[in-house]
Amino acid sequence: MPKNFNEIKSELKSKLLDYLSDLGINTNNKFNCINPYHDDKNPSMGLDKKNGSLHVHCFGCGAHWDIFDVYAVETKQGTVNSDGTVTYDFKKIFSDLAIKYGINLPDYKPSQEDLLDQKVGEMAQYTIQVAQAHLDETDYLKKRGISMELAKRFHIGYVPTWGNPKPALEGKKIQQTPRIIIPTSTNTYLARDTRSNIPDEEKPYKKTKVGKAHLFNGKALLQDTKPIFLVEGEFDALSIMEASDKVEAVALGSTQNQRILKDALDRVKHHKDNANMPYDPLILIAMDNDDAGDMANHQIAQLLKGMQFVGHIVTHALVDNHKDANEALIADKARLASNIEKILKEPDQYLDNLMKRIEQNLNKQLFIPTGFSNLDKALDGGLYPQLYIIGAVSSLGKTTFTLQIADSIARQKRPVFFFSLETSKDTLTEKNISKITFETAGDDSSLPQTARSIDNGYFLETGKDGFKHPKVMKHVTKAFSMYKEYYQNLMINNGITNRPSAQDIYNQVQAYCVRHPDLHPVVVVDYLQILKPMRDNMTDKEAVTSSVAKLNELTEKFHAPVILISSFNRQNYDSPVSMQSFKESGEIEYYSDVLMGLQYQDGQKPDFEDTDPMTSRKIEAVILKNRNGVSKSKVGFDFYSAFNEFIPEIDN
């Protein structure tokens, strides 16, 4: 007898044949669909035994149900949603089936949260039904450009004195406000405040979602005869369908609901594949016309690409200079309808989108200065959303060079991720503070401090009369204060003890960009060859190539400049920097947009016996490849290694 939950669940799932037999259904042949909303005149449901799990599958409506779904529908304890899924109290159905088949369950009491969610769902279902009768009591939809005909199609309603059911059930005091009710399933909805003057403190709650997140008009994904717009808000979807009856529109409800979209498309694909039916929808992506929407557009396009769909980003072509489709509808319905027609004729809108991006670039600084004037000149201003790879032999200063760029960008109040796999966060921080002591020392050579002297606490040494080095102590303390003003922008990730993979880095940056869609971070990885491989059993070259390819995705998806530090081949240590220096490290030179190497200037290799910290080393950066600029150029630096400072040579 099964004892734990998973064993009981598997046992119950295996009873599907028995239960269908109890219903008088012969599973040896196709049978009439048991979805009550599918008028199945020709038997189109059958038993699906794929992947070792029993389901019934309808080749007509797409229902793909296990025994829990079937039992919930047959006993009228479940609601079939527009996308073919079934909503019900799983614990109740689970318990009923266990009793039916004589399986003893461990003692179980539903949590207060479970009971609360169940009650909220019941109240939501009631609200949706009742609200439809009151829709004519408000002119709010008319103000938003939505017709009564379209509103009735989607069972939209109105509640003049709506209160949020969950806090109400929790015994909290709630304020009642007039709300438009837009169902997203049979027991979930959006409640939109209809007041023209909403107090500032209440504006965060003007759009309240009740129940679990669902797609609005998700059933439109079941077809591919009409083009499908993917938008953010429910009113945007309604606006598009108001302007044109040639298309469908699906609203995610939030840019955070991309997983729900993926799950819905996965179910549709599964249904179509099982039925041997083609499925090739024209998907048009039109999130809001702002930075967050632009990022979401590209994220959704990537998501669709991974599912073997093509998604065209059409926001600008659809709404012109408006924020979203509803704003465009209110401003000029005929214009919105015309834009939809144009999009249907030219879905990719390639040339129009390119021209708009170029126009926007006129008023936007596209590059981020590196802090090195000579390097910025060679790179057409600084860093763009591209892949930069910087290589050098060991101990030449590539970490310090790249850290100085990161520090300079952080000073510009821009976010920088610095993933360090061989140097600790403390050491890198002390390098930056050491550099500040050098920059602010003026002509006093006693003030600059090395990272080591800072770490050893030289400036804090005391004697019987107080600090032994009061001038140095004051100077270093000031450097700490200066660094404190901006160091939060430089997010140093210590990967020494827990090496990240390129996927780990991608995930961390993605999470940041989702939380801060208006910010485009710079990403630095030090260094490429010691990243954790993305998969087991990869050769060194395969590991590097796959890591570069993954990190390169950050440049396109999140508009983030990415700098990767690379080691050189040992056989090229004594040779001038060239493409050959990178050849044994995977396909670095092919993926990189800018490939550069650091080396000593000709005839300037230092005498390492000279220990004067105020003596600089002559270094140059050789730009071997610049996909969108001038290659084969060199820029020179004076490198004060003791104080972690590169000073650019300025051409006269």
pLDDT, tens digit, 9 for 90 and up, residues 555-583: 988 889 999 999 886 666 678 888 887 76
Element (H, E) at 225: none
Q: Which of 196, 212, 228 is the last residue of a domain?
A: 212
- Residue 534: per-residue pLDDT: 87
For residues 208 and 248, state if they share a domain. no
Average pLDDT, the chain: 89
For residues 182 and 264, state if they share a domain. no
Distance CA 141, CA 329 (A): 12
For residues 496 and 629, state if they share a domain. yes
Q: Tell me, yes or no, whether 409 lies in a domain.
A: yes
For residues 133 and 272, state if they share a domain. no
For 582-633, give the DSSP string: GTTSSSHHHH-SEEEEEEEPTT----TT---TTPPEEEEEEEEEETTS--SE
Average pLDDT over residues 391-410: 93
pLDDT at 290 over 60: yes
- Residue 250: per-residue pLDDT: 97
- Spatial contact of 103 and 11, defined as CB atoms under 8 Å apart: yes
Q: Tell me, yes or no, whether 405 lies in a domain.
A: yes
Q: Supply 273's token pair.
A: 């594949």
Close Cβ partners of 558 (under 8 Å, ≥ 6 residues apart): 295, 298, 509, 510, 513, 520, 521
Higher pLDDT, 432 or 114: 432
Higher pLDDT, 365 or 551: 551
- Spatial contact of 34 and 76, defined as CB atoms under 8 Å apart: no
Q: Give residue-wise pLDDT tens across range 437-472.
A: 999 999 898 999 999 999 999 999 888 888 899 999
Q: Tell me, yes or no, whether 475 lies in a domain.
A: no
| Listed ranges 173-182, 295-304, 579-588; the one with the highest mean pLDDT | 173-182
Place of tokens 């799983």: 90
For residues 22 and 63, state if they share a domain. yes
Query: C-alpha distances in angstroms, 527 versus 370, 391, 403, 547, 562?
Result: 19, 10, 12, 11, 12
Q: What is the domain extent for residue 234? A: 218-363
Q: Tell me, yes or no, whether 457 lies in a domain.
A: no
Q: H/E/C letters for each residue in 559-583?
A: CCCEEEEEECCHHHCCCCCCHHHHC
Distance CA 135, CA 157 (A): 5
Quickly state the pLDDT bin for 644 (edges 50, 70, 90): very high
- Phi-psi category of residue 145: left, alpha or beta, with phi > 0 → left and psi -120 to 50 → alpha: left
pLDDT at 311 over 90: yes
Higher pLDDT, 168 or 109: 168
| Listed ranges 9-23, 157-171, 537-551; the one with the highest mean pLDDT | 157-171
Average pLDDT over residues 128-138: 95
Average pLDDT over residues 107-118: 75
For residues 578 and 514, state if they share a domain. yes
- Residue 151: per-residue pLDDT: 97
Distance CA 451, CA 616 (A): 17
Q: Supply 315's token pair.
A: 């926001």
Q: Which of 212, 242, 271 is the last residue of a domain?
A: 212
Quickly state the pLDDT bin for 2 (edges 50, 70, 90): very low
pLDDT at 363 over 80: no
Quickly state the pLDDT bin for 642 (edges 50, 70, 90): very high
For residues 86 and 189, state if they share a domain. no
- Residue 570: per-residue pLDDT: 66
For residues 494 and 627, state if they share a domain. yes
pLDDT at 610 over 60: no
Lowest mean pLDDT among 188-192, 287-291, 547-551, 584-588: 584-588
Domain total of the chain: 4
Lowest mean pLDDT among 26-40, 102-116, 127-141, 210-224: 102-116
Could you tell me the CATH number of the domain that includes residue 169?
A: 3.90.980.10
Q: Tell me, yes or no, whether 443 lies in a domain.
A: no
For residues 123 and 28, state if they share a domain. no
Average pLDDT over residues 471-486: 95
Q: Tell me, yes or no, whether 17 lies in a domain.
A: yes
Q: Give residue-wise pLDDT tens across range 542-551.
A: 888 899 999 9
For residues 552 and 634, state if they share a domain. yes
Strand 416-420 to strand 490-494: parallel, antiparallel, or no bridges (unpaired)?
parallel
Q: Which of 73, 100, 127 is the last residue of a domain?
A: 100
Element (H, E) at 148: helix 148-153
- Residue 515: per-residue pLDDT: 83
Q: Give residue-wise pLDDT tens across range 312-328.
A: 999 989 999 999 999 99
Q: Which residues pair with 646 in a beta bridge?
A: 639
Distance CA 647, CA 640 (A): 8
Q: Angle 5-13/90-100 helices, nearest 10 degrees? A: 70
Distance CA 408, CA 373 (A): 12
Q: Quick one: what percent of the chain has pLDDT higher than 70?
A: 96
The model carries a pTM of 0.58
Q: What are phi and psi of 368, to 5 degrees?
A: -115, 115
DSSP 397: S
- Residue 464: per-residue pLDDT: 86
Could you tell me the CATH number of the domain that includes residue 272?
A: 3.40.1360.10
Q: Tell me, yes or no, whether 578 lies in a domain.
A: yes
For 418-454, give the DSSP string: EEESSS-HHHHHHHHHHHHHHHT-TT-TTS---HHHH
Average pLDDT over residues 527-534: 90
For residues 294 and 197, state if they share a domain. no
Average pLDDT over residues 175-200: 94
Q: Tell me, yes or no, whether 422 lies in a domain.
A: yes
- Residue 607: per-residue pLDDT: 63
Q: What are phi and psi of 423, to 5 degrees?
A: -130, 135
Quickly state the pLDDT bin for 109 (edges 50, 70, 90): low
Q: Give residue-wise pLDDT tens across range 372-382.
A: 999 999 999 99
Average pLDDT over residues 93-120: 81
End-to-end Cα, the chain, rounded Å: 88
Could you tell me the CATH number of the domain that includes residue 377?
A: 3.40.50.300
Quickly state the pLDDT bin for 585 (edges 50, 70, 90): low
- Residue 314: per-residue pLDDT: 93
- Residue 424: per-residue pLDDT: 93
Distance CA 326, CA 336 (A): 9
For residues 37 and 159, state if they share a domain. no
pLDDT at 1 over 60: no
